[in-house]
Structure 1
Amino acid sequence: MIPTLTTDRLTLRAPRPEDVAPFAAFYASDAARFVGGSRPRWETWRYVCEVVGHWHMRGFGRWIAARRSDDAPVGLVGLHHPEDWPEPEIGWMFWETGRGFATEAARAARRWAYREAGLTTLISLIAPDNTLSIALAERLGGVREADFTHVKFGRMGVWRQPGPEEI
């Protein structure tokens, strides 16, 4: 039920068991500080299962972004709307950075959200000191709109993404 999308350099696909190892390495790194902090491999496994379950519960969700050249996972991107989120979000976590993968993947996910999932609005929730994600949100045309405080993740900026008529 999880569609596969392709871009020039990436395949956005359903998570697989072998994706847990690189995802766990991300969660063991300092980069995880912006997404709830580090977590052990067993908890990363559960999180990947949560990503898959979100598709079942909402009809949309996040993909593993993998290089088309070798299918190596480089990040997670897509749509997220748990019960405690204010609106559907387009979000990203990339362990290979500085190559434009996140921008390429986020644009493809946003197009799918509007054209296939029927969503009409998207936000990105970003920790105030996550300068890389803020820069990506702005590259995508996002505009800082407000703050949102989450019980676990604390204060985050709400970045309003362009709507379907603007992309």
Structure 2
Amino acid sequence: MSAYTLTIPRLETERLIMREYRQTDFDAFAEFYSTDRSRFIGGPMHRELAWRGLATHLGHWALRGFGFWAVEEKATGAFCGHVGLWHPEGWPEPEVGWVLMGPAEGRGIALEAAFAARRYAYDTLNWPTAISLIDPGNTRSIRLAERMDCTHEADFNHVRLGQMQVWRHPAPADLVG
């Protein structure tokens, strides 16, 4: 059996390493997706579907050339969640997205990683704009989008996830610093 090699660029911020997924990330990934907190992004789901979800993230890199990074805290080596760039079939536009595991929430990790992902989208991939699709009940994600200077632009009815809000990121030329 031959292995397929997928190259995922590594990003670093002050506190984080954004890297490829590893087998050791899966237990935390599956645990999160078994909880009610995952209801805003297609969960809860059992381990088999979580495995398929993680594999989908890797497949997105292979098909689109970008995707979600596993986020690791430098100080502890802990897997914190996944943040990155997403544009699967059925999505209205390319997205900057974030999902943090429970212990990582409320510490600014999503914001730090989302800024790094957006910089990569704009500076490396030359995206002219980006959105974030957010469930209207996901107040934490809405607050994060606001902290990134996004504006609620429209609503979008996703065939599987239902009603979502489209949050528009500032264009590269509109970013300060």
Q: Shorter-normalised TM-score: what interval?
A: over 0.9
Q: Distance in 2 between matches of 1:117 and 1:70?
A: 30
What fraction of aligned residue pairs are identical, expressed as a percent?
50
User: Would you say the 8 A contact 1:59–1:117 is kept in 2?
Assistant: no
2:52 to 43, 46, 66: 46
RMSD: 0.8
| Equivalent residue number for residue 133 of structure 1 | 141
The Cα of 1:30 is off from its aligned counterpart by 1.7
1:32 to 26, 38, 42: 38
| Equivalent residue number for residue 163 of structure 1 | 171
The Cα of 1:76 is off from its aligned counterpart by 0.7
* TM-score, normalising length: structure 1: 0.97
Q: Distance in 1 between matches of 2:174 and 2:20?
A: 28
Q: Distance in 2 between matches of 1:21 and 1:59?
A: 26
User: Would you say the 8 A contact 1:76–1:93 is kept in 2?
Assistant: yes
Tell me the amino acid that sits aligned with residue 98 of structure 1. G
Between the two proteins, the alignment pairs up a number of residues equal to: 167
Unpaired segments ≥5 residues, structure 2: 1-6
| Equivalent residue number for residue 3 of structure 2 | none
Tell me the amino acid that sits aligned with residue 138 of structure 2. N
1:7 to 2, 13, 18: 13
Q: Which 4+ runs in 1 deviate beyond 3 A?
A: none
1:105 to 97, 113, 135: 113
Q: Distance in 1 between matches of 2:43 and 2:58?
A: 21
- Partner SS for 2:69: strand
| Equivalent residue number for residue 64 of structure 2 | 58
Q: Distance in 2 between matches of 1:120 and 1:97?
A: 29
| Equivalent residue number for residue 143 of structure 1 | 151
Tell me the amino acid that sits aligned with residue 17 of structure 1. Q
Q: Distance in 2 between matches of 1:116 and 1:43?
A: 32
Q: Distance in 2 between matches of 1:81 and 1:139?
A: 22
Written as runs of structure 1 = structure 2, the 5 A alignment for 1:58-137 is 58-95=64-101, 96-137=104-145
Tell me the amino acid that sits aligned with residue 37 of structure 1. G
Question: Highest CA radius of gyration, 1 or 2?
Answer: 2
Unpaired segments ≥5 residues, structure 1: none
